[in-house]
Structure 1
Amino acid sequence: MQQSYAFEDLSMGLAAEIGRTVTEADIVLFAGVTGDTNPAHLNQQYAEGTLFKGRIAHGMLSAGLVSAVLGTRLPGPGTIYLSQSLKFRAPVRPGDTVVARVEVTSLDPAKKKVTLSTTCRVGDTVVLEGEAVVLAPARS
Structure 2
Amino acid sequence: MKASRPRVLTQEDFDRFASLSRDDNPIHCDPAFARTTHFGATVAHGMFLFSLLCAQMQRSNPRPVLPIAQTLMFPRPTFVGDGVAAVLVLNETPGRDRIALDTSVRCVQRGRNRMAVTDEQITAQGDAVLLVDASAQSLAEAQRQDAGEVAQSAGHLAGQPAGDRTLYHLSVGQEASAVRSFSAGDIDEYVSLTDDGNAFYTDPVFAHSRGFEGTIVPLPLLAGMFSDLLGTRLPGRGTGWMKQSLRLRSPARLGELLSASVRIVRLRADKDLVNLATVVTGDDGRVVLAGEALVLVRNLEDKRPLEAA
Q: Do they fold alike, i.e. is TM over 0.5?
A: yes
Deviation at 1:54, TM superposition (A): 2.4
Deviation at 1:78, TM superposition (A): 0.5
CA distance in 2, matches of 1:73, 1:109: 19
Deviation at 1:92, TM superposition (A): 0.7
Counterpart residue number, 1:77: 237
Which SS does the other structure have where 2:245 is aligned? Answer: strand
Give the alignment of 1:5-16 within 5 angstroms.
7-16=167-176
The total of aligned residue pairs comes to 136
Q: Which of 279, 282, 290 is residue 119 of structure 1 equivalent to?
A: 279
Q: Which runs of 5+ in 2 are unaligned?
A: 1-24, 26-165, 305-309
Give the alignment of 1:59-78 within 5 angstroms.
59-78=219-238
CA distance in 1, matches of 2:236, 2:216: 29
1:45-90 deviation line (CA, Å, top 9, x unaligned) = 1111114252111111110011000011101111111110001101
- Over alpha carbons, which structure has the higher Rg? 2
Which SS does the other structure have where 2:168 is aligned? Answer: helix
CA distance in 1, matches of 2:184, 2:210: 19
Counterpart residue number, 2:203: 43
Counterpart residue number, 2:50: none
Counterpart residue number, 1:55: 215
Q: Percent identity?
A: 36
- Report if aligned partners of 2:213, 2:253 keep a CA contact under 8 Å in 1: no
Q: Which runs of 5+ in 1 are unaligned?
A: none
Counterpart residue number, 2:252: 92
CA distance in 1, matches of 2:211, 2:197: 18
Where relative contact order (Cα < 8 A, 6+ residues apart) is larger, the structure is 1
> After TM superposition, which residue ranges in structure 1, 4 or more long, deviate above 2 angstroms?
51-54
1:79-111 deviation line (CA, Å, top 9, x unaligned) = 111110001101011111111100000111211
- Report if aligned partners of 1:105, 1:116 keep a CA contact under 8 Å in 2: yes
- Report if aligned partners of 1:112, 1:135 keep a CA contact under 8 Å in 2: yes
CA distance in 2, matches of 1:33, 1:88: 22
Q: Which of 235, 260, 265 is residue 105 of structure 1 equivalent to?
A: 265
> What one-letter code is carried by the residue in structure 2 that aligns with 1:128?
L
Which SS does the other structure have where 2:280 is aligned? Answer: strand
Q: Is residue 293 of structure 2 the alignment partner of residue 132 of structure 1?
A: yes
Which SS does the other structure have where 1:36 is aligned? Answer: coil
Deviation at 1:125, TM superposition (A): 1.0
- Report if aligned partners of 1:48, 1:54 keep a CA contact under 8 Å in 2: yes
Q: TM-score, normalised by structure 2?
A: 0.42
Q: TM-score, normalised by structure 1?
A: 0.90
